[in-house]
Amino acid sequence: MEMEQEKLSLCNDDVSSESAFHCSACHDDEEWSCANPIRGRAKFRSLSVSPALGSTKEFRRTRSLHGPCPVTTFGPKACMLQNPKTIMHIQDPASQRLTWNKPPKSVLVIKKIRDASLLQPFKELCVYLTEENNMIVYVEKKVLEDPAIVNDDNFGPVKKKFCTFREDYDDISNQIDFIICLGGDGTLLYASSLFQGSVPPVMAFHLGSLGFLTPFNFENFQSQVTQVIEGNAALVLRSRLKVKVVKEHREKKTLIQNGIEENGVISTSLEMEVGKQIMQYQVLNEVVVDRGPSSYLSNVDVFLDGHLITTVQGDGVIVSTPTGSTAYAAAAGASMIHPNVPAIMITPICPHSLSFRPIVVPAGVELKIMLSPDARNTAWVSFDGRKRQEVCHGDSISITTSCYPLPSICFRDPVSDWFESLAECLHWNVRKKQNHFAVEEEF
């Protein structure tokens, strides 16, 4: 009892102390605000690092090592069900459950393109959503251009009720209440790319090849979708990376309709400085910097909070989220991290060094990747396998944890779903059992 009172007193002292240390979701390059009012009011004691010998300036950290407070509102109507037992601003991942401010009315259905096996599940789901639940269904325009859907007269009345959009042309971020994915892990990555801010809850059905991020089977989709609509579902918040690419020389581009440019970058994420072009992305899996078509080693410098920590000499480097740790990073020899762990993983790709091991850094740090001054060639960067572009001398890639996670709906709970995916999809620690010793019979 005395220990509990002592801990409570310590927490209260920390919250009430005045300092220059703020939640990085409210004190960063952008003017973010905490969705949780408790978080917005909380203040934290600054942990000052002792100045180095001979230094005249004291170092004071202004960015939280734990990463930004994640936004707990997802799309126009969904939010996290608040747990009264939350300790300070850290909520037990096992208690994260979906709730709705208002009943959901609109749903985005994402279907894997050019997969004939998904046509029937897609039609059944859309009929159930529109006719049984009277919901507004959004689909991408190119999905409805499939000849099998165009020539299906029975599906025509349902198809007329759809709202369509085109990627990089139409902004639907404030019109979607939740998302349903039909396909593999790529559909979840695609859903993430459509929402550069707050992401609606995502329900992913395993209809692809691997399905590590898609826990639901389609056989009983009616009851499962109904539970989500009623707000009876567990959530796992998959952290994303906020990436800023600064390029020294800006090419001239022509604006086209709805604020979108020819290169597919949303103009609201594009800032102009003198002689510089700045682009921002929200990344769910990983940022990959590689040597591209060059036969030379990639030679890039990696900075952490402004300090050079290493130079990568090899095929490249992967900066991944915990969700991305089971993707390209795992293939490159990294450890696998549960998505509830606040962290960023740095994994070299075929480094020309026997001692260069993957490392995990706190979610709140800011990484910067630049070409080394001695690099013989340029590098290339991609974001979740998309938007691939060249990185030249003087360009920089800044990476930190975003305050906009992707709320993925769980089949059971975050822990059970993750270990089941490890076993079923990656066959983690699958080995033939060792035989026991035979017991000798005593005579």
Catalogue the active-site residues.
Answer: 185
In which order are the strands placed within the sheet that holds 178-183?
163-165, 136-140, 106-111, 178-183, 202-206, 406-409, 235-238
Query: In the block, which residue shows the tokens 């800011």?
Result: 366
Residue 217 makes CB contacts below 8 A (sequence gap 6+) with: 205, 206
Distance CA(25)–CA(64), nearest Å, equals: 9
Joined together, the tokens standing for residue 295 give: 């036969």
Q: Cβ atoms within 10 A of the Cβ of 171, count?
A: 16
HEC-encoded secondary structure of the chain: CHHHHHHHHHHHHHHHCCCCECCCCCCCCCCCCCCCHHHHHCCECCCCECCCCCCCCCECCCCCCCCCCCCCEECCCEEECCCCCCECCECCHHHCEEEECCCCCEEEEEECCCCHHHHHHHHHHHHHHHHHCCCEEEEEHHHCCCHHHHCCCCCHHHHCCCEEECCCCCCCCCCCCEEEEEECHHHHHHHHHHCCCCCCCEEEEECCCCCCCCCECCCCHHHHHHHHHCCCCEEEEECCEEEEEEECCCCCCCECHHHEECCCCEHHHEEEECCEEEEEEEECCEEEEECCCCCCCEEEEEEECCEEEEEEEECEEEEECCHHHHCHHHHCCCCCCCCCCCEEEEEEECCCCCCCCCEEEECCCCEEEEECCCCCCCEEEEECCEEEEEECCCCEEEEEECCCCEEEECCCCHHHHHHHHHHHHCCCCCCCCCCCCCCCCCC
Residue 11 is which amino acid? C
